[in-house]
């Protein structure tokens, strides 16, 4: 019962090994509510790795 944007984030996190529903929720809400800068750092690092490796 999440917005489409939140659900998209949860689905993306759940594709990682060992990440289930609850873990994806914890990660998503931590990044969105407590550590936005960490979320931006994660996005940048992932984009760089995907482009350059």
- Domain holding 43: CATH number? 1.10.8.420
Token code pair at residue 28: 């998503």
Contacts of 23 (CB under 8 A, 6+ apart): 13
- At 16 the three-state DSSP class reads coil
Range of the domain at 9: 4-52
Instruction: Check residue 3 and give its pLDDT.
Output: 98
For the chain (53 residues), the mean pLDDT of every run of 10, in chain order, is: 97 98 98 96 98 99
Asked whether the beta carbons of 36 and 43 are under 8 A apart, the reply is no
Instruction: Check residue 42 and give its pLDDT.
Output: 97
Token code pair at residue 6: 């939140």
Domain count, the chain: 1
Instruction: Check residue 49 and give its pLDDT.
Output: 99
Calpha distance 51→16 (Å, rounded)? 19
Instruction: Check residue 8 and give its pLDDT.
Output: 98
Backbone phi, psi, residue 2, to 5°: -105, 165
């Amino acid at each position: 019962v999440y917005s489409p944007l939140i659900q998209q984030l949860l689905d993306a996190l759940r594709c990682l090994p060992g990440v289930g529903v609850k873990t994806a929720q914890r990660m998503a809400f931590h990044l969105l509510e407590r550590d936005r800068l960490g979320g931006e750092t994660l996005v940048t690092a992932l984009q760089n790795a995907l482009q350059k490796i």
